[in-house]
Structure 1
Amino acid sequence: MTALDTPIVRVVVAEDRAPVRSGLDAALGHLPGVAVVGTATHHAQVPPLLDRLRPDVLLLGLALPGGDPVELTRAVRAEHPATAVIVIAVVPATNDQVLPALQAGAAGWLPPTADRDTVIRALRAVVAGAGAGTPRRPVGRDHRGELTAREADVLRLVAAGLTNAEIARRLNVSEATVKTHLNHAYTKVGLQNRAEAVEYAKRHGLGPADTC
């Protein structure tokens, strides 16, 4: 039985951009065992919704007006530890917010244009470790099969101690592309920071590597 076979995964969507909300509604509406129980379009609406609804997952748009999404993420994780936070962000445009949000306790991120398969993978990942006060995506879990070859390459080079700029030169890509691959890997594997990425890569034989 998968995580999404359990009775209902309750989701609150906090996103002010109508096209993004519509896209998420379309993706979530076709997922068995998932229910969107609330919607917020402003930061001030989120805490009362969470207090009242106690959802399993908060999909939080980093462009949500009215406050700091990183601080909101931190507050949600402190006050509602059973609610996983997945941030909705364009990467690398909002990369300066994505990594702090992950460090503040977000379980991962989704692009605004995420398709059904991407959304269901993210929900399965965070709900699989459900339990009050416990991480939704333990770093020890092996998600190597979900990584693309390039994402694995980036994790190997992170484990070898290279900076994003050095990885970009090694792989002959832009630094923004490296950040995108790294953030995708963070989401799939369940990492919150670079130290965890190094630990994960070494634990699962992804690094360090001499060549890519």
Structure 2
Amino acid sequence: MTAKETPVIRVLVADDRPAVRTALSTVLRLLPGVAVVATATHQRQVVDHTQREQPEVVLLGLTLPGGDPAELTRRLRAEHPATALVVVGSAPADEAVRAVLLAGAAGYLSATPDREAVVRALRVAVASTSGRRPAPRDRREELTAREIDVLGLVAAGLTNAEIARRLSVSEATVKTHLNHAYTKAGLHSRAEAVRYAKQHGIGPADESPPVS
């Protein structure tokens, strides 16, 4: 993503049924302005991915193992108020679906959705959390020198692979530094990272010795 691109709705697809998970992911990836940031097949993965990726929307399957989906919904709504949940079930009148909706899910989506149904569900979900996403915090003093280096190179337009070559580290290390910088600065996308770097005068890093 570049700084000129429109904001992306980041979606976590959580369903243990391969066919449902694949169908949802396929439809989502064909929608402009939507990105599938992760998939999950267990409730523990939902918690972990939501914490790490901070998606705008979680599509939550009712059959996901790991506990009561209504309880998971209450937990995610409490810990991540800017993330909306959409329950994926067989019928909106189903008792389990109703329980999750009462627990705080923003809407319902059929396990066999079409494009229009997915678009409607995303719109409802995003609208339900409008204004709840906190503004990025300026925690530049908490950024390490290497995290600042990486942000500077992102602002210069380099890919993660190019940054890894420039800094003589692995691409995985670059991703780790970038994720830490995102968390500390309250960023949610590469475009925000570019804007943040420019606003704070963070430029490209000079050649540096390898750092593990």
Give the shorter-chain TM-score range: 0.5 to 0.7
Find the residue that maps to 1:24 and give its secondary structure. Answer: helix
Find the residue that maps to 2:60 and give its secondary structure. Answer: strand
Are positions 1:114 and 2:113 aligned together?
A: yes
What do residues 31-75 of structure 1 show as CA deviations (whole Å, max 9, x unaligned)?
Answer: 000000011100111111111110000000001011110000010
Matched residue, 1:16: 16
**What TM-score do you get using the length of structure 2 for normalisation?**
0.58
Task: For 1:108 and 1:6, locate their aligned partners in 2 and report how far apart those are by CA, in whole Å.
Answer: 24
* Structure 1 residue 6, shift from structure 2 partner: 4.3
Matched residue, 1:174: none
Alignment of 1:55-134 (within 5 A): 55-91=55-91, 95-129=94-128, 130-132=130-132
AA partner of residue 102 (structure 1): L
Task: For 1:133 and 1:104, locate their aligned partners in 2 and report how far apart those are by CA, in whole Å.
Answer: 20
Moved over 6 A (4+): none
* Structure 1 residue 131, shift from structure 2 partner: 2.4
Task: For 1:74 and 1:8, locate their aligned partners in 2 and report how far apart those are by CA, in whole Å.
Answer: 25
Alignment of 1:20-39 (within 5 A): 20-39=20-39
Find the residue that maps to 1:91 and give its secondary structure. Answer: coil
What do residues 184-206 of structure 1 show as CA deviations (whole Å, max 9, x unaligned)?
Answer: xxxxxxxxxxxxxxxxxxxxxxx
**What TM-score do you get using the length of structure 1 for normalisation?**
0.58
Bigger-Rg structure (1/2): 2
List runs of 5+ in structure 2 lacking aligned partners. Answer: 135-212
What is the number of residues matched between the two proteins?
A: 129
Matched residue, 2:148: none
> Is residue 107–residue 124 contact of structure 2 (8 Å, CA) maintained in 1?
no
In the superposition, relative to structure 1, how do residues 11 and 113 fare at CA in structure 2: closer, same or farther (>3 Å)?
Answer: same
Give the percent of matched residue pairs that are identical in Structure 1 and Structure 2: 55
What do residues 112-168 of structure 1 show as CA deviations (whole Å, max 9, x unaligned)?
Answer: 10101100111112213422279xxxxxxxxxxxxxxxxxxxxxxxxxxxxxxxxxx
AA partner of residue 110 (structure 2): P
Task: For 2:40 and 2:125, locate their aligned partners in 1 and report how far apart those are by CA, in whole Å.
Answer: 21
Matched residue, 2:199: none
List runs of 5+ in structure 1 lacking aligned partners. Answer: 135-212
